[in-house]
Amino acid sequence: MPNILVIDDDDIMLKAIKNILNKDGFNVVTATDGKEAFDLLDHTIFDIVITDLMLPHANGLEVVGRLRHNQGNRNVGIIVVSSVGNEETITEAFRLGADDYLKKPIMAGELLMRIRKLIANKNSKTQFVTKKK
C-alpha cells in the first residue's frame, strides 16, 4: 500500500484528503506544520508527499528543498497543493524539485489521478519496493 504524507495547516483539508485517499487504498499520514513533517520524514519513507506552501515553522518550499536532499526520501514524489497563485513561487517550487502543482481549490479526482501517475512513473524508473521502516 503506497505511503502518503499530507502537510497542510488546515485540519479540514487534512481530514478530507485523508478520507479520500484512504478510500482509494492509500496509507495516509498527516502533519500540520513543517516541524512535524520533518520529524516524520526522518523516520518514515514515503512514496508521495503532498504539501501546502504556507506552513508554520517551515514553509513548503523548504520542505520540498529538504526532501530532495534527504537520503531516505530523495525519490519521493512531491505534489504542492496551495492557494498561492503567484507564478514566481510556483516556478520556485518546481526548481526546488516539486513534481506537480495543484492550485486550491482542488479537484479530488485530479489529485488522485496525479498521485497514481507519479507512482506509476516512479515504479517504472526504480525497481526496489519502498516500505515502512
Partner 1 sequence: MKVIIDFFSRGTFWDVLGIFFQYAVFLYGTSLLIAYGVLAFLSLGSIRRYMKKNANADYNIIIESPLAPGISVIAPAFNEGVTIISNVRSLLTFNYPKFEVIIINDGSTDDTLEKLVSEFELVQVDYAYREKLLSKPVKRIFKSTNPAYDKLVVIDKINGKSKADASNAGINVAIYDYFLCTDVDCILDKDTLIKLIKPFMDAETSTVREVNGDMQIQEDYKRVIACGATLRMVNSCDVDEGLMIRVRPPRRILPRFQEMEYIRAFVLGKMGWDRINSVPNVSGGLGMFDKDIAIKAGGYDSLSLAEDMDLITRMGAFMTDNNKKYSVKYVPITLCWTEGPTTLKVFGRQRTRWGRGLAQLMSTHRKILFSPRYGRMGLIVFPYHFFYELLAPIIEFLGILFYIYLILTQQINWPYAIILIVFVYTYSVMITTIALLWDQITFKYYKTWGETIGLCLMAFLEPFIYHPLIVFFALKGYFNFIIGKKHTWGNMQRQGFSQPKRRTAVKAG
Partner 2 sequence: MWNDLANLLFLAYEQFSLLPLFIEIALILIFVAVMATLIAYGSILFRRYNSSVYNKRLAHLSPIIEDLITEQVLLNENLGKDIPIEEIHFDQKALSNKIFRKPAVRQILIDTLIRYRKNFRGEVGELLRKLYIDMNLVEDSFAKLRTFKWETKIKALVELTQMDIPISDSMLLPLTNSVNPTLRAASRNAYIQLSKNEPFKFFDVATEPILPWDQMEMFKIITTTKDITIPNFSRWVSYSNNKSIVVFCLKLIAYYDQQTAIPSVLELLGTKDHRFRAEAIKCLGKLSAEIAEEKLVSMYTSQPVNCQIETLKALGRIASGKHLEFLKNEFLFSNNFDVQMNAARAIIRHNSQISRLMLNEIMETTNEENQLIIRHCQNPLIKY
Binding site for partner 1 (CB under 8 A): 33-35, 54-59, 61-62, 64-65, 83-86, 89, 92, 95-96
Site for partner 2 in 89-108 (CB under 8 A): 104-108
Residue 23 binds partner 2 (CB under 8 A): yes
Neighbour order of strands in the sheet with 3-7: 27-31, 3-7, 48-51, 77-82, 100-103
- In the bound complex, what is the minimum distance in angstroms from residue 105's beta carbon to partner 2? 4
Q: Which residue has the cell 499520514?
A: 29
Residue 72 or 97 having the CB closest to partner 1: 97
Query: Pick from 17, 3, 7, 80: which is nearest to 37 by CA?
Result: 7
- In the bound complex, what is the minimum distance in angstroms from residue 43's beta carbon to partner 2? 28
C-alpha cell at 74: 530523495
CA dist list (Å): 14 to 6, 58, 73, 99? 7, 18, 21, 20
Contacting residues toward partner 2, per CB under 8 A: 10, 12-13, 15-16, 19-20, 23, 83, 104-110
